[in-house]
Homo-oligomer: A and B are copies of this chain.
């Protein structure tokens, strides 16, 4: 039997050219690794961008990792690759940001407790105190960092002091504050948001009221990486639900909650399994 600790993922992006897969798989095979899954995508075989995700077993991975990484680094120089190697059992450290709506956060915490999400939840950060008791039940520390128009920079600094360097990904589980460009640069970790509309329709606030007003027949939710351009970051996943004239705005909000929970959970799962590669304003999701 192979040990779970010997499973790793190799994530690569580079300009497409002849011989990438051959070179990488030869390197892995030469080290005795067995490729378990391999996904690749090229935006254009001629001068396009190339993306690859390989999962492989390598006996005594930990011991042999640095040697393998040296070889990969050498290949990467030749092929101008961005790359990383992630042991599959290296849990990502996740901070969840939330305001008052608990549904997305609770869903993530349940999945985590049920071992559906193989992560470390290091903190829940909120601009409100409301959910402290609920979070405490999961044994996760809760930080109340209130934000007002005058204290925003301060609050963000407080959060940076708390999390800086100690978090691999931030999940905005219905966090109703806009993170500044400074914060995003400083935290230097990907931030996943769930937006309560089928982007790019109804970007911004009040999306359900506007969807109702427009009379759409499907409502949706969108998980995306956060960039400085509000609601414009690369889309990870979207979901929809059929609605009719019978649903008023309150019911759209209620239905929306279920879509949000599901869509965000999928996005987080794919992220922590290193399945998502960003290419400009788009994502490649190997699933």
- Give chain A's interface residues, CB within 8 Å of chain B: 1-2, 17-23, 25-26, 28-30, 32, 34-42, 45-46, 57, 102-103, 106, 110, 114, 116, 137, 198-202, 213-218, 220, 234-240, 242, 244-246, 254, 258, 262, 265, 279, 281-285, 287
Contacts and interface: CB of A to CB of B under 8 A. Distances in A.
Given A106-B110, A245-B283, A283-B245, A29 B18 contact: yes
Task: Give the 4 A-B CB pairs with smallest separation, nearest first.
Answer: A215-B282, A22-B29, A22-B25, A201-B201
Given A106-B110, A218-B198, A284 B29 contact: no
Number of copies: 4
B282 A41 contact: no
A213 B200 CA distance: 11
B110 A244 contact: no
28 contacts: A2-B45, A2-B46, A18-B32, A21-B29, A22-B25, A22-B29, A22-B35, A25-B26, A34-B45, A36-B45, A37-B42, A38-B38, A39-B39, A45-B57, A103-B114, A106-B110, A198-B198, A198-B201, A199-B216, A213-B281, A213-B282, A214-B281, A215-B283, A217-B237, A218-B238, A245-B285, A258-B262, A258-B265
A258 to B, nearest CB: 6
A242 B242 CA distance: 11
A123 to B, nearest CB: 21
A100 to B, nearest CB: 12
Nearest to A38: B40
B40 A37 contact: yes
A192 to B, nearest CB: 14
Contacts of A244: 285
Contacts of A21: 21, 25, 29, 35, 38
A240 B45 CA distance: 29
A199 B216 CA distance: 8
Contact of A18 (B1, B17, B34): B34
A17 B21 CA distance: 18
B217 A235 contact: yes
Contacts of A202: 200
A188 to B, nearest CB: 23
Contacts of A114: 102-103
A22 B18 contact: no
Nearest to A246: B41
